[in-house]
A and B are shown apart, each in its own frame.
Chain A
Amino acid sequence: GNSVTQMEGPVTLSEEAFLTINCTYTATGYPSLFWYVQYPGEGLQLLLKATKADDKGSNKGFEATYRKETTSFHLEKGSVQVSDSAVYFCALGYTGRRALTFGSGTRLQVQP
Chain B
Amino acid sequence: DAGVTQSPTHLIKTRGQQVTLRCSPKSGHDTVSWYQQALGQGPQFIFQYYEEEERQRGNFPDRFSGHQFPNYSSELNVNALLLGDSALYLCASSLRTTNLDNEQFFGPGTRLTVL
Contact = CB atoms under 8 A, between A and B. Distances in A.
Interface of A: 4, 32, 36, 41-46, 49, 51, 89, 91, 93-105
A86 B96 CA distance: 29
11 contacts: A4-B42, A43-B109, A89-B42, A89-B43, A91-B42, A95-B98, A97-B56, A98-B56, A100-B45, A102-B42, A104-B40
A46 B4 CA distance: 14
Given A49-B101, A98-B31, A103 B106 contact: no
Contact of A99 (B4, B48, B106): B48
Interface of B: 4, 31, 33, 40-45, 48, 55-56, 58, 90, 92, 94, 96, 98-101, 103-109
A32 B98 CA distance: 13
Given A43-B4, A43-B106, A43-B107, A94 B100 contact: yes
A89 B40 CA distance: 11
A97 B45 CA distance: 11
Contact of A100 (B31, B104, B107): B104
A105 B104 CA distance: 18
Nearest to A42: B108
A105 B48 contact: no
With most chain B CB atoms within 10 A of its CB, the pick from A44, A89, A96 is: A44
A42 B40 CA distance: 15
Nearest to A36: B106
A41 to B, nearest CB: 7
Contacts of A97: 56, 100
A43 B103 contact: no
Nearest to A101: B45
Please provide the 4 A-B residue pairs with the shortest distance between their CB atoms, ordered closest to farther. Answer: A102-B42, A43-B106, A99-B45, A44-B106
A99 to B, nearest CB: 4
Given A42-B108, A98-B56, A99-B58, A105 B100 contact: no
